[in-house]
Structure 1
């Protein structure tokens, strides 16, 4: 069974949209998207953004088992980034004692922070 990165890669390939266009719209580099293709699990927001670019709904591509476990289909863990800065309440520790949920929440926050940093770099230095 293919993992999420492989499913993403196949959907992009089938869309006919070039990798160059996708990475330009995402504001990432080609090596970054190729690393994403190798990952077993992907961030929900990242996959949603790619789906918006290529016009593909990825929620139909993942099994029920994956949907119950992976962050791709649990957007309730994601927190919005406001003005590029996370509100103080989002930084506090979750009262949830499940370590997997805590790890997924931290992963989501970390990715959101990296994306905000990337957007800031693009605003300051502009696209390549």
Structure 2
């Protein structure tokens, strides 16, 4: 199972973005961003917003993880 919050956190850091920048883009506080990072799963609308903000298709990452799990089980 993929941990969505960690995936988001890694992508944010890979892009050299700060938590403060990300919180501003999401219109939330820094503590809320850290709560997102700790979540194993996330609401699809929120994931869509995050995908748009970071310019990365997290849905594709999840889809690939499902395919991998199906073929390795």
TM-score (norm. length: structure 1): 0.46
Please tell me whether the aligned partners of residues 17 and 54 of structure 1 are also in contact (alpha carbons under 8 angstroms): no
Structure number, greater radius of gyration: 1
Please tell me whether the aligned partners of residues 12 and 54 of structure 1 are also in contact (alpha carbons under 8 angstroms): yes
Please tell me whether the aligned partners of residues 22 and 33 of structure 2 are also in contact (alpha carbons under 8 angstroms): no
**SS state at 2:35 partner:** helix
Partner of 2:70: none
TM-score (norm. length: structure 2): 0.75
- The CA RMSD over aligned residues, in Å, is 1.6
Ranges in structure 2 where 5+ consecutive residues have no aligned partner: 68-73
Runs of 4+ in 1 over 2 A off after TM superposition: none
Q: Compare the two structures and name the one with the higher helix fraction.
A: 2
